[in-house]
Amino acid sequence: MTMIIIVALFVAVLLLIFWRSVRIVPHSMQDVIERFGKYHRTLGSGFNVVIPGVDQVRERIDRRVQVVSFPPQSAITEDNLAVEVDSAVYIRVVDAYRATYEVANFIQAVEQLTLATLRNVIGGMNLEATLTSRDQINRELKQVLDEATSDWGIEISRIELKGIEPPGSVQEAMEMQMRADREKRAQLLSAEGEKQSAVLRAEGERSAAVLRAKGQAEAQMLTAKADAEAQTLRARGEADAIHMVFKALHTSRVDPDVLAYQYLQKLPEIAKGDANKVWIVPSEMGQAIQGVGAAFQRLRDDVVRAP
């Protein structure tokens, strides 16, 4: 029975020693181990073995990116205006040894260094540049912080200025200026719209006038062309009619005395027109008229000879 108790105690001691010697480190973590109060080694994630009572864990370091957010801090610009700056710094431990032994509290150290650097950077800029140059401020902050934190085993991944608030009076003045700028832009846009509208109307009226003039000119040309064609057709018709009449006369061998007599009957109708200034008399018609005159002379002679 005693032997069983001794064996059980021995096994229990071995299990306790094994339990105390096993060190399991989570992923993305590192354990800084000291042996007799002096740095010994850094344990990576996973299964590790240490000597119980000899090796001790000084610090467990998180290798993931950590966000260090600060409350809004006051800073004075170059033109002596106070602004409230709200910022955040993203840091990551790259060397667990230096982050443990080179600085007492690296998060607090980064916070104080960031605030001091931020005041210095903003102190060299006026208010307008501070409000419009966040990227430049971030670059300058990161450059200064990288130089200081490299000795602490800290890497500055990113710096963000979450907000820069100017004084209340300045905010009111800026709002008034922005409102005036918006009204000015609205007026300019309205004037530009009216100008473009007037230009478009003028171009439309000019195009319409040109089209009307072209239409009237084309209409006049078509009318003149139609009149000319009508006159040409009438002249051709009259010429054809005259040609047919003379052809009929020559074909039927009409007596010149009859032709002259018919012509004399038509002379009053021809003379009725006001525009008739010139009469065209065919050569045959003149001979017929001479024949009529000779006929009248013979008739008078016969009357005189009668008893």
Which pLDDT does position 93 carry in this prediction? 92
Residue 180 in any domain: the answer is: no
**How far, in Å, CA of 17 to CA of 4, rounded?**
20
CB 33 within 8 A of CB 50: yes
The answer to whether residues 88 and 158 belong to one domain is yes
Lowest pLDDT segment from 27-41, 245-259, 285-299: 285-299
Taken in order 107, 112, 116, 118, the sign of the CA dihedral is: positive
pLDDT digits (tens, 9 = 90+) for 126-175: 887 888 888 888 888 888 888 888 889 999 888 888 888 877 766 666 66
pLDDT digits (tens, 9 = 90+) for 205-244: 888 888 888 888 888 888 888 887 888 887 777 777 766 7
The answer to whether residues 22 and 101 belong to one domain is no
Res 193 pLDDT > 80: yes
Choose one of 132, 166, 200: the last residue of a domain: 166
Residue 152 in any domain: the answer is: yes
Two tokens, residue 193: 């719209």
Higher pLDDT, 256 or 159: 159
Q: How many domains in the chain? A: 2
| Domain enclosing residue 94, as ranges | 66-166
Q: What is the DSSP letter of 26?
A: P
Query: In which band, very low, low, confident or very high, does the pLDDT at 204 lie, cut at 50, 70 and 90?
Result: confident
Q: Which contacts of 157-161 are long-range, i.e. CB under 8 A and separated by 24 or more positions?
A: 157/65, 157/90, 157/91, 157/92, 158/89, 158/90, 159/87, 159/88, 159/89, 159/90, 159/114, 160/87, 160/88, 160/89, 160/90, 161/85, 161/86, 161/87, 161/134, 161/137
Average confidence (pLDDT) over 59-84: 85
CB 37 within 8 A of CB 79: no
Choose one of 166, 191, 226: the last residue of a domain: 166
The answer to whether residues 75 and 114 belong to one domain is yes
CB 97 within 8 A of CB 42: yes
CB 23 within 8 A of CB 31: yes
Res 291 pLDDT > 60: no
Choose one of 166, 186, 205: the last residue of a domain: 166
Two tokens, residue 299: 């008739």
Say which residue the tokens 């509208």 belong to: 197
Which pLDDT does position 299 carry in this prediction? 47
Which pLDDT does position 249 carry in this prediction? 58
Residue 85 in any domain: the answer is: yes
Average confidence (pLDDT) over 279-306: 53
0.85 exceeded by pTM: no
Which pLDDT does position 90 carry in this prediction? 92
Residue 199 C-beta-side C-alpha neighbours within 13 Å: 6
Query: Which domain CATH number covers 122?
Result: 3.30.479.30
Name 142's Cβ contacts closer than 8 Å, sequence gap at least 6: 156, 158, 159
Res 303 pLDDT > 70: no
No. of helices (H) and no. of strands (E), the chain: 8, 9
Q: Where are the beta strands (DSSP E) in the chain?
A: 22-25, 29-35, 38-43, 46-49, 55-62, 66-69, 73-76, 82-93, 154-165
Which pLDDT does position 76 carry in this prediction? 85
Residue 261 in any domain: the answer is: no
Which pLDDT does position 1 carry in this prediction? 66
